[in-house]
Amino acid sequence: MSYIVFIIFGIISIFLQIFFIREFIPLFHGSEFVLGVVLGHWLLSAAVANFLFQYFKRAKDFFRKSINSSIILIIFIILSFIFIRSINVFSSTDITVGISLKSLFCYSFIAVFPISFILNLLLNFLKQSFSNVLYRKKIKRYVCEAIGFVIGGTVFSFFLSDILTTSLLLIVIMLICFNLVYLCESIIVKCFYVVLFAVSFYLVCYHGFDIEKRVILNNYSENNIIDISYYKNIQNILTEKNGEYFLYKNGNCEFALPSPDIFDEEDFAHLPILHHINPKNLLLIGGIKYLPSIIKYDLGKIDFIEEDKSILEITKQYINKFNKVFEDKRINVYDNDARLLLKKNKENYDVILIGTDIPLNTSINKLYTYEFFNIVKDKLTEDGFLALSLPGSMVYSPTLMFELNASVYFALKKVFPYIQIIPGRTNIMVASLSKMPFRLHIKKRLKKVEKDTVALSKYYVDERMDTQKTKWLNFQIKKHDNEDIINTDLNQKAMLLSTMYWQSGFSPFLMKFLKIVIEYSYFIIFVAIILFFAKGIKYSVTAFVSGASAMWLQFICFWGFQIYVGQIYQWFGLLTAVFMTGLVIGSLYSKHFQNYVALNKTFFSSEILYLLWILAFIVVIEYKMLNVYSLYALSFGVGAITGLEFAQLIKIFGIIKEGKNNVRIFFADALGGAFASYVGGAFVIPVWGIEKALIFILFLKFLIFTWWQYDKKRGL
């Protein structure tokens, strides 16, 4: 039964990681930076817990400490949940506009670190409690935990991604109670945890929504929560304040009614369509708020892509304006990924509008890249137009804004020969394979719908498309003309610049400092060189690089999945499960099938295999073979090679150091994973791009490989 306890705690671990990611993603407007920050905190805490546990080893009654730690874990889970949902109460943070990068780091650390620390300390207590049983049955604690990760990640991705966060946490508490029932010896105490399990189950079934609504109200204290739901692990909240409705998708405001940005909405809904002399087929990607204006045109067909079904259901149920819009028989709604749909769809469009928010995250950014524009080009009619909008300003225009516009403009320029920029508070970019119409033609076409608009008139169009303003904006953008700034799938400049532009509103100084850090970020290579000369702590450095390499490559799988498949927050658990499956298989293979070969030689072979696998990543990316199957295969391979290598390293360390405590190996491995999460997942991958990030980890592994190439000759 002891191995089941570890499996359940493995499930609890992956559920808690998903919980923290789910909670902080909306606060940072859906940005994948959160993955790196949260997992970095989790692994750093695990490293500290494993390191400090050596000082608890002389203590007695590990069984009692395990039970007490489980109870403390439940208490801290509840407190952490309340803390996250109350950020708006004890700080001046406005959740509806997001939080600063500094706040994200601090708040997530406060929430994540204690829980990860207690959980990992608890697992060490349990290991000591069951040490005799585990040794006799030849069960590895880490293998059992990994199996729990596999089960939990798979179950969540397929069956639990739509449940409320309150329900997810209550399930975690139920699992802890299940373990406590087994661990406790007293019948009375067992009964108490059975009752707590039953109460949690009852709340999940009957009161999950009520609890969720009451707790989340802390961060929306001035608003009434009308509806809250999750779809594919994406949070959707509809709020009401003084008769005005707001719909938030992962923290981004999808629309507000009555709209405070009605002029911008009408601009984008009308001006691009007016570029076409007689549009019949139109495609709108995201931006449900533009549909009421679009249906005013004499279009034969309107295709609308919104991946999140929950948004459609909420708007139809609560907003009468949209309920009437969707009754229009010309509108066809698709909930597919925009890229996949365009590749499969044989339809050509006169106008394609990208109506999403600015590319603050990879999910949106992949609609603003050179590769996506190439797909769109083949789906436009001969005189068709593509339009998108980006932040603009005719009063105060920071460099970041120009760089953001330039990153998308030059990606468009590589595909479309004709691009027109309409400057203003938001800059509208219209691209086409044919020449642009004159402003006179646009004003003539406006007459047909002018009476149905709030502000559009020929005078407004003259002001909006003023020649001098357009020339000025073009000049400012073209000052940043260079190959490195172009927004691509693998080098997401627009996403990085959008985040920095947004964050500059919180702390202009921090963004200036971050720009300097980015400019000199290649100095990180010296970290690898310093590690290479630290041969005195060879085994710790090897473990550090092993953990860093595994986590770094896994983050590349996360980012690649979001770009080429989408919905990483739903499938995060499954990708982790695939990685952990490989880890278990690699560890078991090393344990049971490599007992008769000199360990230094087998480890050297593992290092070669690791280098070849990183090269496989580069080949797959270079030949554009990244898809759902290749990403799962790459993730599994990383896990398998890491498990193989780490198990061999533990064996070697045990032999060379004559049974010396291997806690520092586990500490170095977890610390390497934290380093890769912070530096790789939350910084280098988005800053350098995926290809350069891969080259760095290849360089890091190659330096370690040179050590073992020398030592393999000696055997053991």
Q: Write the DSSP string, 380-446.
A: EEEEEEEEEEEE--SS---HHHHHHHHHHHHHHHTT-SEEEEE-SSEEEEEEESSPPPPHHHHHHHH
Torsion, Cα of 439, 443, 449, 454 (10° steps): 90
Residue 163, pLDDT above cutoff 70:
yes
What is the model's pLDDT at position 98?
Answer: 86
CA 484 to chain centre: 24
Instruction: For residue 558, give the amino acid letter.
Output: F
Q: Which residues pair with 284 in a beta bridge?
A: 304, 353
Provide long-range contacts, Cβ within 8 A and 24+ apart, for 258-261: 259/289
What is the model's pLDDT at position 533?
Answer: 75
Could you tell me the pLDDT band of residue 661, with boundaries at 50, 70 and 90? low
Provide long-range contacts, Cβ within 8 A and 24+ apart, for 71-80: 71/180, 72/118, 73/115, 73/118, 73/119, 73/122, 73/176, 74/173, 74/176, 76/114, 76/115, 76/118, 77/16, 77/115, 77/169, 77/172, 77/173, 78/169, 80/111, 80/112, 80/114, 80/115
What is the model's pLDDT at position 414?
Answer: 95
Residue 70, pLDDT above cutoff 50:
yes
What is the model's pLDDT at position 454?
Answer: 81
What is the model's pLDDT at position 523?
Answer: 85
What is the model's pLDDT at position 46?
Answer: 95
Q: Quick one: average pLDDT of 525-544?
A: 80
Residue 14, pLDDT above cutoff 90:
yes
What is the model's pLDDT at position 180?
Answer: 93
Could you tell me the pLDDT band of residue 218, with boundaries at 50, 70 and 90? confident
What is the model's pLDDT at position 514?
Answer: 87
Longest dimension (CA), the chain: 87
555-587 confidence digits (pLDDT tens): 999 999 999 988 999 999 999 999 999 999 998
Structure tokens at 167: 């329900």
Could you tell me the pLDDT band of residue 716, with boundaries at 50, 70 and 90? very low
Residue 23, pLDDT above cutoff 90:
yes
Lowest mean pLDDT among 277-291, 616-630, 654-668: 654-668
Q: Is 379 helix (H, G, I), strand (E, B) or coil?
A: coil
For β-strands 301-305 and 380-391, DSSP reports them as: unpaired
Instruction: For residue 124, give the amino acid letter.
Output: N
Could you tell me the pLDDT band of residue 660, with boundaries at 50, 70 and 90? low
Residue 59, pLDDT above cutoff 70:
no
Q: Quick one: average pLDDT of 188-204?
A: 94
Residue 138, pLDDT above cutoff 50:
no
473-521 confidence digits (pLDDT tens): 888 898 888 878 999 999 999 999 999 999 988 888 888 888 888 888 8
Q: Which residues pair with 422 in a beta bridge?
A: 428
Lowest mean pLDDT among 25-39, 380-394, 601-615: 601-615
Helical pair 101-129 and 62-85, crossing angle rounded to 10 deg? 160
Could you tell me the pLDDT band of residue 596, with boundaries at 50, 70 and 90? very low
What is the model's pLDDT at position 599?
Answer: 57
Instruction: Classify residue 276 by burial, with Cβ atoms within 10 Å: 0-12, 13-18, 19+.
Output: buried
Q: What is the C-alpha to C-alpha distance for residues 124 and 118, in angstroms, rounded to an integer? A: 10
Could you tell me the pLDDT band of residue 656, with boundaries at 50, 70 and 90? low
Q: Quick one: average pLDDT of 61-89?
A: 90
Question: Please, where are the H alpha helices in 141-290?
Answer: 141-155, 165-183, 187-206, 208-216, 262-274
Residue 710, pLDDT above cutoff 80:
no
Place of tokens 């400090």: 52
Q: Quick one: average pLDDT of 534-543?
A: 80
What is the model's pLDDT at position 343?
Answer: 87
Q: What is the C-alpha to C-alpha distance for residues 593 and 494, in angstroms, rounded to an integer? A: 48
Output 60 or 31, whichever has higher pLDDT: 31
Q: What is the C-alpha to C-alpha distance for residues 517 and 534, in angstroms, rounded to an integer? A: 25
Structure tokens at 42: 């989790």
Structure tokens at 488: 């691509």
Could you tell me the pLDDT band of residue 57, with boundaries at 50, 70 and 90? low
460-476 confidence digits (pLDDT tens): 889 889 899 899 888 88
What is the model's pLDDT at position 125?
Answer: 87
- Asked if 693 and 579 count as a contact pair (C-beta separation under 8 A), the reply is no
What is the model's pLDDT at position 598?
Answer: 53
List, in order, residues 6 or more apart from 617 with CB less than 8 Å away. 553, 556, 634, 694
Residue 129, pLDDT above cutoff 80:
no
What is the model's pLDDT at position 437?
Answer: 93
Q: Quick one: average pLDDT of 176-200?
A: 92
254-311 confidence digits (pLDDT tens): 888 888 778 888 889 999 999 999 999 999 999 999 999 999 999 999 999 998 888 8
Q: Quick one: average pLDDT of 153-157?
A: 97
Percent of the chain with pLDDT over 90: 55
Q: What is the C-alpha to C-alpha distance for residues 357 and 254, in angstroms, rounded to an integer? A: 8
* Closest C-alpha among 475, 474, 495 to residue 486: 495
Structure tokens at 155: 């179950």
Residue 652, pLDDT above cutoff 80:
no
What is the model's pLDDT at position 136?
Answer: 45
Q: What is the C-alpha to C-alpha distance for residues 261 and 529, in angstroms, rounded to an integer? A: 52
Q: What is the mean pLDDT of the chain?
A: 88
Residue 1, pLDDT above cutoff 80:
no
